[in-house]
Chain A
Amino acid sequence: MGKRDVQICFRFGSGTPDMERHRSSGARTPLNSALVQRRSRSKSYRLSYRSCLGAASRLGLTPALTARRLNTSRRAPKSHNISEKVSVEQLALLLKKEWKLSYVTPLYRFRHTQMRGYSRQLSAFIAAEKHQGLAVDVEAAQGSFRASFSVIQGMTETDDDAETILIQIHSKSSFPGQDEPQRALWSGWLTCVYGNPEYLNSLPKDFTCLPLFCSSGSEVLTNAVKSWFQLTFDCCFGPLEISHTSLQWLVALWTNCHAECNIQHLKMIWSVPVVPPLQITYTVDGQDAWELWNSLRRDPQEEGEGGKDEEAGSNIDIMEVERFMQGLKGHFYRHFRLDLSAGSLKQVSTALGLAKCNGRMKISNSKYMIATLTLLTECALLKMPM
């Protein structure tokens, strides 16, 4: 008995009667199961034991590491012409590729000025790993792989965030003098976009926080790069999954961008726990999704002051996201009598990008990249052990 795949495409009829139907249908559907948010305790204050001896204390847990949960309200993503600040070639390397996500604990003594040295060391390390038992000179360029580190300037907005680092591994071609640019065998990048400033400021100066690591390429090379980072900067890598809540946020954030950039469709993949396992692909036309979203957003604001449209429109609250999801699920229930709350959201994709719950994502459009990366950075920071 295999999996069943069901594809359903919806095109909502335009006009208000449908909207009202949505709202009322939203009231009739069974209540959504409580979203389980990860409740973390806030950290206590750590006391120093060596106080009386005058020695330095171990790291005290500063009040900056307070209750960590996903932000309940976010700024609506604005069209960000990021290509003004970041070079087009570097951007092209990041877009349209599927990345595997990991979180990284802060790096010790990482210097943005030593990229060349790091490239050499990483090349030598990979050559040594590949040929077990063969010593490799670090300073000479040996081996069949060439690693290159580069800094992607312009992706960060605030001073707290460290600059993004891009790592590429090319294979050394045996025929010198080729003109066409080599495609990288493996690439990865470390980034921190709008990280929590309190947390970033609580870290000592020697630590660089680049919590999000995206990799694309063979598993062997990924492990080699991670080992090298662990040895050199005493950091730890762990898998980053995109939680249910984060995927819902992406649904809302991406739909919100439809006004400025056509998302073409909103495609969600749900998995329902039945036997045999059922996977439902639920695609909504972009315009319809936008209209639903808009209606949910505008109503509570109409009840409030009408003059503050501009400001209030820039913040999206978790309640709005939940209502939006309720609306989508309610519509599905009306037609199929299947409540999607029983299942879980596995994948979200629009023309702007793709995100899967097992920690893979793709960015297809550079304009709203920053918002996506902000969300992912936040997810990564939530996994920091301290």
Chain B
Amino acid sequence: MAANQSASGSSDSESPSLFDSSSQPAPNSRSFNRSVRVAEKERRKNEAEDPFVLALKFFSDVEAGTPAFGNDNLERNLVLVERVAYSKGLSPEAISVMLEFAMSLRMGTSPCVRVLKCLVPASVVPQEAVVRAMVWLGVCKIPASTQVLFIKWVLTIFDMIDAKDQLRAIYGFIFSFVTEEYLCPFVCHLLYLLTRKESVRHFRVQKLLELQSKLGRQPFLLHLLSLYKVFCPEYVTLSIPSRMKSGFRNHNSPWKSALIAVQRRNGSQIASSASLPSTIKDKTSSRKRKHYHLELPVLCSQVNKQAQTEPSLGRKLVPLVQLSSFTQLLDHMHRIELPAQMGSLLGSSLALQYLDCVQDEFALLRLNFWLGYALHEEFLFCGDGRASNSEEALQFLDKLLSTQHFLQESFSSTEVFLYKFLSVWDGSLLRPQILSLLSNIPVVPSSQIGRLLFEPLMQLFFTSSLFFKCGLIECLNSMLLKWLVWHSVYALEDDLDISLNSHTSVNMTLSGFKDSVMELVHFVGRLASVGLQLEGGHSLLLSFILDFYETGCDTFLKYGLPLIVMFPPGVFFPALLSPDPVSVDRLAYIMYSLPLGGAVICGYF
């Protein structure tokens, strides 16, 4: 009571300050204060009389050694607690009290199981309670099945533990339980959830390998060791057989239904720890690929670590394979370790996000080597009698295209490959993909563009079908568009020259860029003129050609390149005189959009 008085007294002294700024007259505020005080007292009295609170008090105050058998008090309080637990779940304080009671074995071992089974948390579980319980696990003589039940409970509510740093601090202590055979699978699972790079030590690896030689090939050991391998591949190496299921088994059966009911009632969605992101990549392709160069390498952490100049930094690097969500990627952005094979980054969208930020030249060179190797092996070095692997090649190219689309630029090995491939391509193998890849290549210096690009394309153009011609014009159109966009984004506004990084041997100035664009436009003009003659002014071809010139007429206005793109006569006249009204309309629109449209018309007539 005295405590209550002082509390209300302090609240009394506080309340004038709260209501100082209010415009209420003084007598009303005093009555208000009195009502607040009365409400407080009521609440405290209710709490003190609340049977649940009394039950908790019982469990926290009970003396060690009190008999459990035939204890009505115990029975009554336990039933009460169970009722609360199954209805709306236990609060964090209740969990601590009950857990402490159960694991300390104050009333013997019989109530322990029952208590553990009713420990359904409502919101969070305080980690101090779990740590204390782990300590009791080591100290007391808890029967084996109860120990197992306890660990299962920890695994079930693992995601609801508010913080894990204390648990990680006692990693070594938890690790010591691994030697108990009945506890081993569950402790391995728990260790799997708690392991970080600092916890992987060689003596722990050796201990696990000893266990493996004793117990044989157990999946739980293998999973834990594979996690160790991710962090420190220099200590252990293994290969997972493809038939093995990935991930640990679920152990949450005694609590699952109760948890779901409580969570549904509380309206909170707490993801259960049942589904773990497994670090083992499952082999989706059951049939053995004969040509494995198209297979993306598996994402795994680097084995060949160099001695870091700062050892502390080396320990803190997070292997990329460990990250499973974008937020995690952002958290560890500054200390991500690149994987062993750079080609594996093309496999997951998360890794692609990171690839976009990678500045390391060597890493990109590795990626380019692998990519170039895959493309060369598949398309350039293939034997004559080989059955075409077109299904896998198609998927590979699609993936490459989507990657390039995501990164908004192409890889240099793709460019090298395309220049070689164009001279041997027949124009129909994987045509959409090859043309899309072609449209992604960056600006080629005008001295090289003729030999590298135009000659093979000309040969292909004049010996191919109408649809190829249309496809090629479209490809060159999108190439022009990308070059223009590149220019408009990267040209410095106040400089007349786009002088590039001195790493490259060619300085591409604005005039050089204009030369390349002009070469491209002239080339398309020549192709278009002769193509239209060959195809007799076909309207489909004409429409694609007019698309190109529509892109071209925006060079100055939209992209800031001081260049005018005009039709050659071989395009202008067929479009003007075509029997197809759409072409004439588009021609008129383009001429209207051209800055000097009038001058163009006069020039032709």
Interface residues, chain A, CB within 8 Å of chain B? 39-41, 43-52, 55-63, 105-106, 108-109, 121, 124-125, 128-129, 132-140, 204, 206-207, 230-236, 238, 383, 385-386
Contact = CB atoms under 8 A, between A and B. Distances in A.
The residue among B238, B377, B416 with the most chain A CB atoms within 10 A of its own CB is: B238
B98 interface: no
Contacts of A46: 412, 415, 442, 504
B237 interface: yes
A333 B425 CA distance: 36
A121 B452 CA distance: 45
B373 interface: yes
Contact of B501 (A41, A50, A140): A50
Given A137-B205, A236-B373, A238-B293, A43 B505 contact: no
A234 B370 contact: yes
B272 to A, nearest CB: 28
A213 B360 CA distance: 28
Contact of A232 (B303, B371, B372): B303
Sorted nearest first, the 10 A-B pairs with minimum C-beta distance are A385-B372, A135-B238, A132-B241, A236-B373, A51-B501, A60-B504, A135-B225, A51-B500, A45-B506, A48-B501
The residue among A60, A236, A385 with the most chain B CB atoms within 10 A of its own CB is: A385
Contacts of A206: 362
A234 B340 contact: yes
Nearest to A58: B364
A44 B452 contact: yes
Nearest to B418: A41
Nearest to A62: B505
B244 interface: yes
A48 B503 contact: yes
A45 B341 contact: no
B297 to A, nearest CB: 7
B28 to A, nearest CB: 66
B217 interface: yes
A135 to B, nearest CB: 4
A63 B448 CA distance: 12
The residue among B225, B235, B365, B368 with the most chain A CB atoms within 10 A of its own CB is: B365
**Interface magnitude class on chain B:** 35 or more
A351 B213 CA distance: 53
B469 interface: no
B320 to A, nearest CB: 14
B203 to A, nearest CB: 11
Contact of A44 (B244, B340, B419): B419
B300 interface: yes
Nearest to B338: A234
Given A58-B364, A59-B361, A52 B492 contact: yes
Given A45-B505, A49-B409, A51-B500, A135 B420 contact: no
Given A236-B373, A386-B412, A125 B505 contact: no
Contacts of B234: 121, 138-139
B504 A57 contact: yes
A59 B306 CA distance: 22
A133 B361 contact: no
A44 B306 CA distance: 34
A105 B293 CA distance: 13
B423 A41 contact: yes
Nearest to A238: B377
Contacts of B304: 108-109, 232-233
Interface in B347-370: 359-362, 364-366, 368-370
Contacts of B241: 132-133
Contacts of B467: none
A138 B371 CA distance: 30
Contacts of A50: 501
B516 to A, nearest CB: 10
Interface in B184-228: 202, 205-206, 208-209, 212, 217, 221-222, 225-226
12 contacts: A41-B423, A45-B445, A51-B498, A59-B368, A60-B505, A105-B370, A138-B235, A204-B365, A230-B341, A383-B376, A385-B416, A386-B372
Contacts of B225: 135
B490 interface: yes
Interface in B428-455: 442-445, 448, 451-452
B237 A138 contact: yes
B529 to A, nearest CB: 27
A40 B420 contact: yes
B501 A57 contact: yes
Contacts of A43: 416, 419
A222 B451 CA distance: 41
A103 B306 CA distance: 26
A24 to B, nearest CB: 36
Given A46-B504, A63-B505, A109-B306, A134 B212 contact: yes
A56 B206 CA distance: 43
Given A40-B420, A46-B415, A136 B217 contact: no
Nearest to B360: A56
A238 B504 contact: no
Given A56-B361, A129-B239, A385-B413, A137 B209 contact: yes
